[in-house]
Amino acid sequence: MKKLIYISLVAVTVTVLAPGCKKSFDDLYSNPNKATDVPPNLLLNGVLYDMYDAPYSDYEKWDQYFIINYDYYGNNRYDFGAGASYYGTLKNVTKMEEEAVKINSPAVNPYEALAKFFKAYFFTKMSLEMGDLPMTEALQGAANLQPKYDAQKDIFIQAFKWLDSANTDMAQMVAAGNYILTGDFYFNNDLSKWQKVVNTYRLRMLIELSKVSGDAELNVPGQFAMILNDPDKYPIMESMDDNLTFQFTYPTNTYPNNPGNFGFDALRYNCSATYLGLLTQLKDPRVYVTSEPATALVSGGLSPTDFNAFVGASPGEDLGTMYIKANSGQYSLINRKHYYDTYVGEPSIQIGYPELLLNIAEAINRGWVPNGPLGDAEAHYQAAIKASMAYYSIPESGAFNVYFLHPGASLGTYDTYSVNFDFPTYYNQAAVKYSGNNANGLNQILTQRYLALFRHSGLESYFCYRRTGVPTFTTGPGTGNSERIAWRFQYTGSEKSANTDNYEAALQSQYGGIDDINGVMWILK
């Protein structure tokens, strides 16, 4: 009987209280341990990390630099799935702007200026992978769960507006010298460095539009000339010190190849013939720093420093065949001293000076501008090669030491060789010396761009191949996709399932209604 009375009382109590329970527990009781606001510098730190494209990723095999020979680690196929989604990062960018206002920052502040750059960076990055994207109606949360897609052309137009505005805002703050910025691990909160990155990135994106450079609304040559003709208003990178570089640290953020994983994967990957073949054809000393001679060829009598001893595998080769050849010493591996010897490796360049110089050289070659800050196309081309070689500590003239892992030895036991190099001799080779503002000269520029970006800048080399065909990417059974290089990534699964109507409309307008990895996006037509 008491039990029945108790139940009745509980029921009455709930009935009386329920209509008034409009607030949640969190609304009634604040949790002193739960942050309600996030400082903009913490959000910035996360966004900066999301910018970073790591070496030793799938990007390297799709760039045809460094390929897999063991199927446990994957394959070298171009059977692309979904592209990278940065909408979560972009939400944090928006939140960063809002939080900067909350701490009484002025309307023009470092966080809002960087936010404009980030929006341009991440939207163009996604568009280069997939094509049209939700942009104008994106990031509205529950207010719009099915945003319409913006055309790829419109995405780039808006990106250039953001970049121009970011440059203006940064210039104002740098001139005043009283801005407050924290959380920047790339440039230690130096906004003047970021201003150079903004304009250097804009030049990269203009180069990405080379196939549609005749579009009057985009005005690609005009924009390129505007930036180069006004260095006071649009400063760009002037040396390797201006590179946007990700520095690795031990033990919190180690280089992907390091002593800890040497025993697991050092033999599971080898150099690609696409990359190594160019270096050996040009008798390029960078081959000694980035790779090692094939041990079977050295055992067969070749000198370890003979260019003929460096051989890469075709990305199109059957994986089983490649594995057998690599493990019998017929292919070159990446240089173990340079890449595995420490936990911090080499700094990873995301946007860099050598690429900038070659982008300017390309623009001059294409007739967009008559010259650049260093003079003609050849001056920029030559300076870029020197800057890339200096990154690997290769002198312009003289001897330098190279290190190859002793055959059969553990990490740390290297054979050392002295190599002589003379830049004028290297440069005066017919295949290297700039042949002028013609098709062959453009091919030379693009080849050196490819060599300079080894293990850097994510998919840039793939994007360059896609729009120019340089260098020649090889295909075969190992690359899948019916022995074709894919032209794009597919849209993410969330677009297909949660934004179906707009997703299907975008496919119909671009790719004949199919999310086709071989479909050709607007900027490549």
Tell me whether residue 309 is in a domain: yes
Residues 315, 422, single domain; the answer is yes
Q: Residue 104: what pLDDT?
A: 81
pLDDT value at 401 more than 80? yes
Query: Over the stretch 292-310, which tens digit does the pLDDT of each residue have?
Result: 999 999 999 999 999 999 9
Report residue 35's pLDDT band, with 50, 70 and 90 as the boundaries: low
In this prediction, residue 489 has a pLDDT band, given cuts at 50, 70 and 90, of very high
Q: Are residues 287 and 221 in the same domain?
A: no
**Bridge partners (DSSP) listed for residue 134:** 149
Is the pLDDT at 19 greater than 80, yes or no? Answer: no
Residues 143 and 187 in one domain: yes
Q: What CATH number did the domain enclosing 127 receive?
A: 1.25.40.390
Peptide bond into 347 cis (omega under 30): no
CA Rg value for the chain? 27
Question: What is the average per-residue pLDDT within 250-278?
Answer: 94
Shared domain check, 292 and 199:
no
Question: 411, 442, 459: which is the final residue of a domain?
Answer: 459
The model's pTM: 0.92
The number of folded domains in the chain is 2
Instruction: Classify residue 400: in a domain, yes or no.
Output: yes
Q: Token pair 């909408």 is at which residue? A: 87
Q: Are residues 442 and 395 in the same domain?
A: yes
CB atoms closer than 10 angstroms to residue 420? 12
CB atoms within 10 A of CB 424: 8
In this structure, the answer to whether residues 423 and 505 fall within a common structural domain is: no
> What is the structure's pLDDT at 33?
53
Residues 155-164: tens digit of each pLDDT: 999 999 999 9
Higher pLDDT, 17 or 443: 443
Sign of the dihedral defined by the CA atoms of residues 446, 448, 451, 453, in that order:
negative
Helix (H) or strand (E) holding 2: helix 2-17
The pLDDT assigned to 10 comes to: 34
Q: Containing domain of residue 180, as a range? A: 82-236+490-524
404 and 281 in a common domain? yes
Q: For residue 16, is it within any domain?
A: no
Average model confidence (pLDDT) across the chain? 93
Residue 342 pLDDT > 80, yes or no? yes
- Pick from 459, 481, 514: which residue ends a domain? 459
Residue 257 lies in a domain: no
- Cα 291–294–78 angle (5° rounding)? 65
Q: Do 206 and 355 belong together in one domain?
A: no
Asked, for residue 410, whether it belongs to a domain, the answer is yes
pLDDT per residue as tens digits for the range 212-245? 999 999 999 999 999 999 999 999 999 999 999 9
Which residues, 6+ apart, have CB-to-CB distance to 56 below 8 Å?
A: 66, 256, 257, 455
Helix or strand or coil: residue 238? coil
Per-residue HEC secondary structure of 96-158 comes to HHHHHHHCCCCCCCHHHHHHHHHHHHHHHHHHHHHCCEECCCCCCHHHCCCCCEECHHHHHHH
pLDDT in tens, 112-147: 999 999 999 999 999 999 999 999 999 998 899 999
Distance CA 458, CA 455 (A): 8
Same domain for 340 and 418 = yes
Residue 484 falls inside a structural domain: no
CB 193 within 8 A of CB 147: no
Q: Are residues 272 and 421 in the same domain?
A: yes
Q: Are residues 296 and 436 in the same domain?
A: yes
- Predicted local distance difference test score (pLDDT) of residue 105: 84
Tell whether 104 is covered by a domain: yes
Angle value at C-alpha 162, between 459 and 349, nearest 5 degrees: 30
pLDDT band at 34 (very low <50, low <70, confident <90, very high): low
Residues 86 and 232 occupy one common structural domain: yes
